[in-house]
Structure 1
Amino acid sequence: MLKQIKQGLVFGVLAAGSLAFLPTASAQAETAIATFAGGCFWCMEPPFDKLDGVISTTSGYIGGHKDNPNYKEVSAGITGHTEAVQIVYDPAKINYQTLLDVFWVNIDPFAVNRQFCDTGSQYRSGIFTHSAEQLKLAKASKQQVGQTLEQKIATEITPATKFYPAEDYHQDYYLNNPIRYTFYRHNCGRDKRLEQVWGDKYSKN
């Protein structure tokens, strides 16, 4: 009996010690996801990557009807997907409204089924919401943008469907291929158009 009591005390101490090393609910990092489409996904990563509180950005495809689409299929416009960027962020450091504000000034909200030099539904702009709160904020921000710019906004707002990460060579393209990225961005007229639409609100990335 004494041996059992001692074993029980030992296991109790070990269990308590183990619990001391387990992260508490408050200590565990909580993250959230935001998904935006704004034309070429290469160009949508930089403005979010530089924000404090953004953990990662991933280029990919969303909103289509085919499983596991590849770039050739999406760019041909045969899968219904649009190029998008999915953002993992820390809501304790940055809120969804701030992400929306950054999103708007990096797209042409008037363009239908295109963004800058890229044409087709695969380059349509969109906000893909992951919760009722995101949907509420997205709709309110779209209404505000329309009132501010005094023009109809073409950007779609829809519940997020399955997101498929793009091929590895598309990820961090602006970092891995800076010369090609800069050449593409300039020739596509992205910055020029953004300055026309947003003026001082747009800060070149």
Structure 2
Amino acid sequence: MKHIILACFVTVLFSCQNNAQANKNQEAVINAKPIEVPIKNGKAKAYFASGCFWCVEAIYESVKGVDEVINGYSGGHTKNPTYEASNTGKTGHAEAVEVIYDPKIVSFETLVDAYFGSQNVTQVNGQGNDRGSQYRSIIFFQNDAQKQIILKKKEALAKKLNAKIAAEVYPFQKFWVAEDYHQNYERLHPENSYIQNVSIPRLNRFKATFPKEFLKDSH
């Protein structure tokens, strides 16, 4: 019995050490200076994490002024994360999207409104049945102006709902593009059971409540 207890203690000890190391690395990410992505050919980029990126991709592609949405990983402390690695929860990354948009048509502020308007804002580490740190909600800012927009909207929403808003606020550092088979997933796989039962209903809930003047006729 003592051997079992000792073995368990050692396992927990090393587990705690590993987590402490991961937390230390993650703190460096959270406290880093944000990197600003320059506007190119009149198009800007914004980054969001809000559960499964298949769902979030479809949501942002329904917003006017959004040209393209790319699925990937961000917010972690490891390089070249993969789907399998991020799913372990050990890389610090969350499934995220890169939103390529025309700032003359849609503002960053509206994209943040779409973010909060398309999720369960109080659910920690996930959306619906997709649970784990890889599905946590994060909004990434590239400069102080964006940070202030995010914080003010988050604070206002918390007061309105009288609840704690789960979304974390990170300085943007790096976006890692996900594997090819994750791109345009909702559009290419409409027959997929997850798409039919989770992604499309989530998209429809968003479109039913978000101001129509900001939505495309189709996506």
For the aligned pair, the TM-score class normalised by the smaller chain equals 0.7 to 0.9
1:148 equivalent in alignment to 2:156: no
Tell me the residue number matched to 1:83.
Answer: 95
Shift of 1:78: 2.0
2:141 counterpart residue number: 129
Per-residue CA shift, 1:20-41, capped at 9, x if unaligned? xxxxxxxx84221111111000
Residue 209 of structure 2 aligns to which amino acid in structure 1? K
Is the Cα–Cα contact under 8 Å of residues 54 and 88 in structure 1 kept in the other structure? Answer: yes
What pairs up with 1:102-113 in 2 under 5 angstroms?
102-113=114-125
Deviation string, structure 1 residues 174-204 (Cα, Å, up to 9, x no partner)? 0111111xx2145459947x96xx8x6369x
Contact residue 49 and residue 56 of structure 1 kept, 8 A: yes
Q: Pick the structure with greater CA Rg.
A: 1
Unaligned stretches of 5+ in structure 2? 1-39, 212-218
SS at 1:178's partner residue? Answer: coil
Mapped to 2, the partners of 1:102 and 1:122 lie a distance apart of 21
> Which whole-Å CA distance do the structure 2 matches of 1:168 and 1:189 have between them?
19
Normalising by structure 1, we get a TM-score of 0.76
Shift in Å, 1:170: 0.3
Flag the 1:151–1:106 CA change in 2: closer, same or farther, 3 A: same
- Judging changes above 3 Å, is the alpha-carbon distance between structure 1 residues 190 and 51 closer, same or farther for their aligned structure 2 residues? closer
Say which of 43, 51, 68 aligns to 1:39: 51
Relative to the length of structure 2, the TM-score reads 0.72
Aligned to 1:3: none
**Partner deviation per Cα, 1:114-151 (whole Å, 9 max, x = no partner):** 21111110100110111211111011111111122221
CA distance in 1, matches of 2:190, 2:161: 32
Aligned partner (choices 102, 106, 113) of residue 101 of structure 1:
113
Match of 1:201 in 2: 209
Amino acid at match of 1:142: K
- The match for 1:184 among 181, 194, 199 is 194
The 5 A counterparts of 1:63-82 are 63-82=75-94
Name the residue aligned to 1:119.
131
Please give the root-mean-square deviation of Cα atoms over the aligned residues, in Å. 2.4
5+ residue gaps, structure 1? 1-27
CA contact 1:107–1:125 (8 Å) conserved in 2: no
2:42 & 2:145 partners in 1: Cα distance? 17
Report sequence identity in percent.
Answer: 38
How far residue 63 of structure 1 moved from its aligned partner, in angstroms, is 0.9
Q: How many residues align?
A: 172
Q: What's the counterpart of residue 139 of structure 1?
A: 151
- Native 8 Å contact 1:37 1:82 kept in 2: yes
Kept after mapping to 1: 8 A contact 2:190/2:196 = no
Task: Give the whole-Å Cα distance in 2 for the aligned partners of 1:64 and 1:171.
Answer: 20
| Equivalent-residue separation in structure 1 for 2:86 and 2:54 (angstroms) | 15
